[in-house]
């Protein structure tokens, strides 16, 4: 299998997760296995449980990690189902859990998956192989729902104009390909000379998040992942845009015992029991060298938390 994937923040992930005594490592979004391979090589006494909702990713990674066959277990599952998978596989409490919330290169670079506007393909965008596609949303969702998706998940200021054009277009003919949708959005927004970001970027991001319930998956993942850790174990999460990172940051702050500030006049601090300490107060970002080698890493943010040996 050609190595299509450059794992983001690879050295930083290995440095933060290979610190502990041998035990179980969980890669909850194993993708093409770049992080998993490096962790297995750095932690020769450890075993690894890998999850991914994409059956194609599981098959490719099984081949990539064939030299570690006796140390790995791979399960086709969304990362939010980690607790269920740990129980079903009779796994011990992990010493390290990793989640990389970005799309894999396999998905982005395969036109038939419908993630990218740079290559024409079916308007799909599913990370797995079930559920409604992006074409289903674009052609069947109400105007109100499409507006909310583009505004909330894409932070698209021209959402109203884009949705109005989609509604007119789908009355004549359904939108079925990534090229059709990207051209429609570009016609609505226009493109300034020298503009590097494609006008359809936010629309495609918003639809992908909605199709895969990406933010809901993260909301249902962080706290159960922390609670699944062995005492002293670490959770590392890589986010790629502010919506993801905001959920991670606020959940970790709450689990650290810093309750979110409620609106209104200040009152007595809420009593919470800390479960973790933050290993890095600010997110770790890629170096300039990594950004040059892998432009897709530019927006990555890594946050690491360590479960307390005993709750404080």
Kindly report which listed range (37-41, 44-48, 126-130) carries the lowest average pLDDT score.
Answer: 126-130
CA angle 70, 3, 61 (to 5 degrees): 30
| pLDDT (average), residues 15-38 | 92
Domain boundary among 172, 197, 212: 212
Asked whether residue 116 carries a pLDDT value surpassing 80, the answer given is no
The structure's pTM equals 0.88
What's phi and psi for 18, nearest 5 deg?
Answer: -100, 20
Indicate the average pLDDT of the chain.
89
Residues 230 and 185 reside in one and the same domain: no
Give percent above pLDDT 90 in the chain.
76
Q: Is residue 1 part of a domain?
A: no
> 279 with 304: CB under 8 angstroms?
yes
Choice between 32 and 272, residue whose per-residue pLDDT is larger: 32
Count how many residues are written for the chain. 312
Asked whether residue 109 carries a pLDDT value surpassing 70, the answer given is no
Provide the residue range defining the domain that includes 100: 10-106+215-307
- Closest by Cα among 259, 255, 253, 260 to 227: 255
Residues 197 and 228 reside in one and the same domain: no
Tokens of 109: 């670079």
> 259 with 269: CB under 8 angstroms?
yes
Residues 120 and 199 reside in one and the same domain: yes
Residue 143 belongs to domain with CATH number: 1.10.150.170
Asked whether residue 2 carries a pLDDT value surpassing 50, the answer given is no
- pLDDT by residue (tens digit) across 169-205? 999 999 999 999 999 999 999 877 767 788 988 999 9
Residues 228 and 266 reside in one and the same domain: yes
Kindly report which listed range (103-107, 195-199, 201-205, 233-237) carries the lowest average pLDDT score.
Answer: 103-107
| pLDDT (average), residues 154-180 | 95
Q: Into how many domains does the chain fold? A: 2
């Amino acid at each position: 299998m050609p190595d299509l994937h450059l794992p983001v923040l690879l050295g930083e992930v290995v440095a933060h997760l290979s610190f502990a005594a041998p035990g179980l490592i969980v890669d909850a979004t194993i993708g093409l296995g770049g992080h998993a391979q490096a962790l297995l090589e750095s932690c020769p006494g450890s075993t690894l449980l890998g999850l991914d909702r994409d059956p194609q990713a599981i098959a490719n990674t099984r081949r990539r990690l064939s030299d570690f066959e006796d140390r790995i277990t791979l399960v086709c599952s969304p990362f939010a189902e980690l607790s269920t998978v740990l129980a079903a596989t009779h796994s011990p409490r992990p010493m390290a859990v990793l989640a990389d919330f970005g799309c894999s290169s396999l998905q982005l670079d395969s036109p038939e998956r419908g993630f990218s506007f740079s290559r024409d393909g079916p308007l799909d965008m599913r990370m797995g192989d079930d559920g409604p596609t992006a074409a289903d949303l674009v052609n069947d969702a109400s105007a109100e729902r499409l507006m909310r998706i583009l505004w909330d998940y894409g932070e698209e200021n021209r959402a109203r104009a884009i949705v109005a054009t989609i509604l007119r277009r789908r009355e004549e003919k359904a939108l079925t390909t990534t090229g059709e949708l990207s051209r429609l959005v570009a016609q609505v927004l226009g493109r300034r000379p020298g503009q590097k970001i494609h006008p359809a970027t936010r629309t495609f991001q918003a639809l992908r998040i909605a199709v895969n319930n990406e933010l809901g998956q993260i909301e249902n993942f962080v706290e159960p992942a922390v609670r699944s850790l062995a005492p002293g174990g670490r959770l590392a999460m890589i986010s790629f845009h502010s919506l993801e990172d905001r959920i991670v940051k606020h959940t970790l702050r709450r689990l650290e015992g810093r309750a979110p500030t409620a609106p209104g006049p200040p009152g007595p601090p809420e009593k919470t029991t800390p479960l973790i300490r933050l290993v890095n107060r600010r997110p770790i970002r890629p170096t300039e060298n990594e950004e040059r080698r892998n432009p897709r890493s530019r927006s990555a943010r890594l946050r690491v938390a360590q479960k307390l040996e005993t709750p404080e």
